[in-house]
Structure 1
Amino acid sequence: MKRKIALGIFVLAALMAIFFLWPRQERLPLLGSVENAALESVDGSTFQLHDQKIKLVVFFYTHCPDICPMTLFDLEQVKKELETKNLFKEKVRFISITLDPEVDTQERLQEYAQNFSVDHAGWMMLRGDTSTTEQIAKDFKMIYQKNESGFVTHSTTMYLVDANNKIRAYHDMAVGDKKVNVEEVVQHIEWLAAE
């Protein structure tokens, strides 16, 4: 009788250990949906936001003096990490959407992309007309305002969107001395890729 109780306790303890110690796949919450939109790529082609890939979406403008270029430099590191895991291009795209389409022409975006490790097969620099840009920013709850001198004040959030076009995580852009949390962004992308 004592052996059966001891065996039962041992089996129960083993099952509990497996349950609590077995690595579980983390899941990111559903934070919203992304409407489809057609945007112009640097090569003049039309890009649809709904493309069945995981997307890291960042809003920027080419004459931004600090946050935007610092963030895009940090995204180069995210890109390198994803390339080592065979995720960049195959499963993940970076989507960079200008908040100033009047100034950021297709040619200007092409020129700007040369400052970064932009691989246009996996890192899309996009622009829409003013109304499309406003609608996309509204869908993402991205707040921005352009003043008379052309300076664009904008919120500093990046959006991780799954292959089903659901926003799954928010990440901070590079602000001041604070860089993009490359490790966290890569980890969240890996979780989505494993779903």
Structure 2
Amino acid sequence: MMSKKSLLAVILAGLLPLTCYFLLKYFTAEAVVMPKRYFYDTVQNNTSYGKTTSDTVWHKVRDFTLTNQFGRQVSLSDLEGKIIVADFFFTSCPIVCPTLTRNMKRLQDAFSKTDTIVRFLSFSVDPQRDSAERLKKYADKYGINHDTWWMLTGDKDEIYDIAKKEFKANVADTKVDTNFIHTEYFFILDKDRVVRGWYNGMDSIHLNKLASDVVLLMLEKDKKKKRRFFGS
């Protein structure tokens, strides 16, 4: 029987033809169902010519500045216009985090041809111990591409605020301990920094869906332009 790792490798190996499929579908189909937006800040009611319309203001992850594995200060705003895949981990985690890191590495490899669009972020939830030097050593152990994947450390309160209030990690994973954000989930932000989905990073089916959704978000048009997409 094929192992889970082998199955995941086969699924991700099929990502390139999947990309081609969605490109073809985009140019030939009337509509594509896009990944949903999940969290909103407000709903504005606008009245014009006697008609009232509602406009949802979707929650955007705020800008932040943390330290990456090279000891450099980096900000979310440095990744403007990028699609982001993120997780929350710590380097001394014995079982779950190494598997998550290997699976995210497979995703990084799968999107290596589009590395100008997709970026990866791993937030340490144990920043007191996870120094930049320790993160660099961990990253090198798994052979990640440092140019497209930041492992981040910094003030613990700031990281936990990002996890809970911005990515809504404790909403996505209701079993998570809010005092120690250790979740198996990966999160996607679109080019506007809006959360568009979360996926179990240990599950090959979820990872396949994540990869498909990243491809769709790569094709998504600017909201101000004429749209062909529904469900978003």
TM-score bucket of the superposed structures, by smaller chain: 0.7 to 0.9
Which residue of structure 1 aligns with residue 62 of structure 2?
35
The unaligned stretches of length 5 or more in structure 2 are 1-27, 40-59, 171-175, 221-232
Distance 1:100 1:25, change over 3 A: same
Post-superposition CA distance 1:26-65 (Å, at most 9, x none)? 3111123211110101111111123221100100000111
The AA in structure 1 aligned to 2:133 is E
Answer yes or no: is the 8 Å Cα contact 1:71–1:180 preserved in 2. no
In the TM superposition, 1:1-195 aligns within 5 A as: 22=29, 24-32=31-39, 33-50=60-77, 51-52=79-80, 53-83=82-112, 86-88=113-115, 90-139=116-165, 140-143=167-170, 145=177, 154-174=182-202, 178-179=203-204, 181-195=206-220
Answer yes or no: is the 8 Å Cα contact 2:100–2:184 preserved in 1. no
Distance 1:92 1:63, change over 3 A: same
Distance 1:43 1:180, change over 3 A: farther
- CA–CA distance in 2 between the matches of 1:181 and 1:115? 25
Answer yes or no: is the 8 Å Cα contact 2:121–2:152 preserved in 1. yes
How much does 1:146 deviate?
8.9
Distance 1:142 1:164, change over 3 A: same
Post-superposition CA distance 1:82-120 (Å, at most 9, x none)? 12xx212x0010100000000101111011111213111
How much does 1:141 deviate?
2.2
Secondary structure of 2:37's counterpart equals coil
Secondary structure of 1:62's counterpart equals coil
Secondary structure of 1:154's counterpart equals coil
Distance 1:22 1:146, change over 3 A: closer
Distance 1:108 1:145, change over 3 A: farther
- CA–CA distance in 2 between the matches of 1:146 and 1:62? 19
Instruction: Kindly report the root-mean-square deviation, in angstroms, between the aligned alpha carbons of the 2 structures.
Output: 2.1
Distance 1:91 1:153, change over 3 A: closer
Q: Identity of paired residues, percent? A: 25
How much does 1:71 deviate?
1.0
Distance 1:48 1:153, change over 3 A: closer
The unaligned stretches of length 5 or more in structure 1 are 1-20
How much does 1:145 deviate?
4.7
Which residue of structure 1 aligns with residue 53 of structure 2?
none
Aligned residues: 165
Post-superposition CA distance 1:160-188 (Å, at most 9, x none)? 001110001111121xxx44743222211
